[in-house]
């Protein structure tokens, strides 16, 4: 009887140890921030912004919609296009990123990742994506994507084959509608589609460390009937500035985080 009791106690201890990480994850409450605008820039109003990022000091953007999808290099100060190309009408462009001078553009429902040389903007390949394409970024090694669910996927940049996956949780609950991504100082920032919220995610655990409230960034006086949702996060590592915009927005904003 004593042996059985001792054995039962050992099993309980191991069970508690095994559950401890989950308990901590569920008990982790995200810190809340407000986006504070530090500078305002013009943004191309016809851009249905999908991907937004800096590469070697240059700003790039992908824009969606069937028959209207394009990619361009942007003059930040003027909001004008420096270089661009259109995608074939059958493609709905989504998130985009550059890794090792190769530009990757997700397509929404076409199950293709289009690959270009960022220096010439010439297409050099095409990869298979088994899911819907939403957001795309990189940690410098892997490509990182979303498909509108609560999952974030890590991919081999040579083949786009899955390497790993994390489920994103906010205050212990799965968070879906993850969209455009940006990798900033070892963390993944993500737009939550249809909201004015950005989340900052631990890339190992999937836990949302912080939320960023972007409500009211674009003034009502600048909104039109076709003005769409907040989408687009770009980080310039050269000056550590963060920029955000939205679909068909006439403005882009440089922001800092202000704790609520």
* Measured distance CA(256)–CA(241) in Å, rounded: 8
**From the DSSP assignment, how many helices (H) and strands (E) are in the chain?**
1, 22
Work out the pLDDT band at 5, boundaries 50, 70, 90: very low
Alpha helices in 48-192 (DSSP H): none
* Measured distance CA(95)–CA(234) in Å, rounded: 12
- Average per-residue pLDDT for the chain: 92
The DSSP 8-state label assigned to residue 141 in this structure reads S
* Measured distance CA(221)–CA(227) in Å, rounded: 11
- Which residue ranges form the domains of the chain, and what is each CATH number? 28-259 (2.120.10.30)
Mean pLDDT for the stretch of residues 33-47: 98
Please tell me the predicted confidence (pLDDT) of residue 160. 98
Name residue, tokens 């968070």: 175
* φ, ψ for residue 11, nearest 5 deg: -60, -40
pLDDT tens string 149-181: 999 999 999 999 999 999 999 999 999 999 999
Q: State yes or no: pLDDT of 24 exceeds 60.
A: no
* φ, ψ for residue 16, nearest 5 deg: -65, -40
* φ, ψ for residue 9, nearest 5 deg: -65, -40
Residue 233 corresponds to which tokens in the numbers above?
């996060």
pLDDT tens string 191-248: 999 999 999 999 999 999 999 999 999 999 999 999 999 999 999 999 999 999 999 9
Work out the pLDDT band at 27, boundaries 50, 70, 90: low
Q: State yes or no: pLDDT of 26 exceeds 80.
A: no
pLDDT tens string 91-114: 999 999 999 999 999 999 999 999
Note the pTM of the prediction, 2 decimals.
Answer: 0.89
The contacts of residue 210 (CB under 8 Å, 6+ apart) are 30, 31, 32, 33, 199, 200, 257
pLDDT tens string 119-155: 999 999 999 999 999 999 999 999 999 999 999 999 9
* φ, ψ for residue 85, nearest 5 deg: -155, 155
Q: Is 194 left (phi over 0), alpha (psi -120 to 50) or beta?
A: left
């Amino acid at each position: 009887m004593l042996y059985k009791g001792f054995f039962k106690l050992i099993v309980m201890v191991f069970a508690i140890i095994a559950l401890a990480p989950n308990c901590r994850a569920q008990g982790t409450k995200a810190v809340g921030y407000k986006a504070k605008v530090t500078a305002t820039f013009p943004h191309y109003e016809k851009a249905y912004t999908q991907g937004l990022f800096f590469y070697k000091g240059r700003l790039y953007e992908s824009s969606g919609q069937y028959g209207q999808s394009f990619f361009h290099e942007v003059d930040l100060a003027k909001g004008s296009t420096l270089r661009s190309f259109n995608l074939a009408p059958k493609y709905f462009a989504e998130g985009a990123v550059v890794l090792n001078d190769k530009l990757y553009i997700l397509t929404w429902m076409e199950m293709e990742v289009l690959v270009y040389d960022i220096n010439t903007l010439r297409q050099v390949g095409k990869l298979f994506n088994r899911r819907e394409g939403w957001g795309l970024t990189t940690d410098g090694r892997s490509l990182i994507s979303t498909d509108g669910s609560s999952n974030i996927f890590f991919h081999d940049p040579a083949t786009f084959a899955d390497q790993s996956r994390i489920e994103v949780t906010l205050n212990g609950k799965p968070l879906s509608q993850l969209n455009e991504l940006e990798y900033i100082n070892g963390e993944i920032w993500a737009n939550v589609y249809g909201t004015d919220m950005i989340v900052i995610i631990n890339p190992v655990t999937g836990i949302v460390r912080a939320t960023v409230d972007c409500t009211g960034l674009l003034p009502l006086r600048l909104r039109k009937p076709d003005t769409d949702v907040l989408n687009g996060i770009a980080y310039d590592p050269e000056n550590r500035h963060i920029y955000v915009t939205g679909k068909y927005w006439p403005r882009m904003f440089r922001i800092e985080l202000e704790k609520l």
